[in-house]
Structure 1
Amino acid sequence: MGEAVPPYRRIAAEVRRRIEAGELRPGDRVPSARAITEEWGVAIATATKAHAALREEGLTVARPGVGTVVAGPAPRRDHELTHERIVTTAIAIADADGLAELSMRRIAVTLGVATMSLYRHVPSRDDLTLAMIDAAFGDLRLPPRLPGGWRAGLELCARRQWALFKRHPWLGPSMSLTRPQPAPNALRLTEWVIAAFDGTSVPLDQRMYIQILLFSFVRGAASALEPEAEAMRESGLTADQWMDSQAAAMNRLNITGGMPNIQQLTTADFDFDLDKLFEFGLARLLDGIDLFVRAHAE
């Protein structure tokens, strides 16, 4: 004989049946813990475990001031799940709301599946992040041949990485410089940059440092993208609107703080823009690498 199903599981299964049958619709309150104790004759602890099981499946959510309600349509069956669907959904959530808002439960609710079913396709959060990074870099296309030498190649590569980070603001902060994730598409990018110096006298190890330096520059500039997107979501102000709101305070600091150069920039309406910073920094970085490559050729 099989093991007896715990009471809280039987209760959760019955509530799920009601959701699947349409007796409980999205937004409807499900039986409270006290109502469960009265209907099923169980202890409050059992009712609480039933609620926890329903939340874990992505079937219900707690709404402050309302109670526990049906989160959405009854989850579809696991055979509709694929690794690609999970990763695509995770990227869409992170793009829209930031990586901090991404969770297995959020993905499950979006897909309409049980939360635990995701782990059969993506074993852990680290595995999910790696898959997201690899999928994002899979959209970065570089030509098989370099367009006019190493400098043109690095310039093209950096600009396409910048565009990629702008499409996915979470991507830069999710990547580690000192413990790089083994994402095949990101490694192919590394190989492409190293090969850009074929025909020069730059040693292989120093080509790798150039690749790391270039990536660090683009990623560093991109590290401001997700905090800025979050600030816009929370405040409703663009970066320019926020700067305008701080103008009076900045002027007071400049006047009283003895900072004539900053005051001159402020009165000259200095326009800080991440794209301009990226272009300026990239040009200076490539200028420095050019001197380095020339020195190796002598």
Structure 2
Amino acid sequence: MAASGRAAGPEVIWARPERAGRGPRPAFTRDEIAEAAVRIADESGLAAVSMRRVATAVGCATMSLYNYVPSKGDLVDLMVDLVGGEYRLPDRPSGDWRADLLALAHQEREMIRRHPWMPGAVLSHNFLGPNALRYMEYCLAALEGSGLDDGLKLELISLVNGTVLAMASAEQAAAEQAKESGHSPEARLAAQTGYLRTVVGTGRYPLVARALTRGAPAGDPDEVFARLIGRVLDAYEASAAPGTG
């Protein structure tokens, strides 16, 4: 407890020194511990990551692990930031901020496919570690000529990330439903399409019928992804100062 009688506030794991100035050299680094946790999550999901299981993976006693990582929350923060290091960031932006952000969105989508547990972890753990700051610095550099003020730049970065997380989560859910049902995503889509044709044919849902009839086809998932991210970028480009971007 703090001297005032109130519990001390949360402490960011990166604010703690990884190694004390004195004492024996640590047997493991935080990155090694996070790598072990990421492997477990990739194989079995985030719920399978426990301090005991990670301690076993790195070869130490569970209580010893707390000397490196004080809590499970700190461990997840380290995992999220470690995966964030997978972004392949060019030395400098291209000068086309839309293309740069779209390229990063594609990278994020592939990252989530490699680490399906990421959406849930990111939504519940939002401390910015070194790799997240590296990513944000690059994004802000890419947006330098966009004509957006700094507040809108941060808002746009957050919205693009959130859109990718939502779309990737929907893809994961569809794949999981297909796996559980034993039918392919294409077969499930065909069944849904047939049902909709029957229902809208009754005339009870005229607006739905019109939208489905006149609306453009969804198209290839990669094209849909690029189109939706593009619409987010369109909205912010329209907010840019005249004569910029």
TM over 0.5: yes
> Shift in Å at residue 100 of structure 1?
2.6
Structure with larger RCO (C-alpha < 8 A, sep 6+): 2
- Tell me how far apart the structure 2 counterparts of residues 149 and 248 of structure 1 sit (CA, whole Å): 43
- 1:48 paired residue number: none
- 1:189 paired residue number: 135
Match of 1:224, SS state, is helix
Identical residues among aligned pairs (%): 34
- 1:143 paired residue number: 90
Aligned residues: 218
RMSD: 3.5
Return closer, same or farther for 1:108/1:252 CA change in 2, 3 Å cut-off. farther
Counterpart check, 1:227 vs 2:173: yes
Cα deviation 1:91-128 (Å, max 9, x = unaligned): 12222332233333443455565433432322211111
- 1:210 paired residue number: 156
Look at both structures and tell me which one has the larger radius of gyration over its CA atoms.
1
Counterpart check, 1:292 vs 2:222: no
Which one-letter code corresponds to 2:83 in the other structure? A
Which one-letter code corresponds to 2:119 in the other structure? G
Counterpart check, 1:119 vs 2:69: no
- Tell me how far apart the structure 1 counterparts of residues 102 and 32 of structure 2 sit (CA, whole Å): 33
Using the size of structure 2 for normalisation, the TM-score is 0.71
Q: Comparing 186-195 with 201-210, which one deviates more in the overlay?
A: 201-210
- 2:19 paired residue number: none
Return closer, same or farther for 1:201/1:236 CA change in 2, 3 Å cut-off. same
Please say if residues 139 and 157 of structure 2, whose CA atoms lie closer than 8 Å, have aligned partners that are also in contact: yes
> Shift in Å at residue 275 of structure 1?
3.1
> Shift in Å at residue 150 of structure 1?
1.7
Which one-letter code corresponds to 1:185 in the other structure? N
- 2:118 paired residue number: 171
Among residues 103, 117, 139, which one is paired with 1:156 in the alignment? 103
Unaligned runs of 5+ in 1: 1-78
Please say if residues 175 and 181 of structure 1, whose CA atoms lie closer than 8 Å, have aligned partners that are also in contact: no
- Tell me how far apart the structure 1 counterparts of residues 83 and 150 of structure 2 sit (CA, whole Å): 27
Which one-letter code corresponds to 1:176 in the other structure? L
Return closer, same or farther for 1:260/1:241 CA change in 2, 3 Å cut-off. same
